[in-house]
Chain A
Amino acid sequence: DIVMTQSPDSLAVSLGERATINCKSSQSVLYTSDNRNYLAWYQQRPGQPPKLLIYWASTRESGVPDRFSGSGSGTDFTLTISSLQAEDVAVYYCQQYYSTPPALTFGGGTKVEIK
Chain B
Amino acid sequence: AQSVTQLDSHVSVSEGTPVLLRCNYSSSYSPSLFWYVQHPNKGLQLLLKYTSAATLVKGINGFEAEFKKSETSFHLTKPSAHMSDAAEYFCVVSLYNFNKFYFGSGTKLNVKP
A-B complex is real: no
Taking Cβ atoms with an 8 Å cutoff, the residues of B that contact A are none
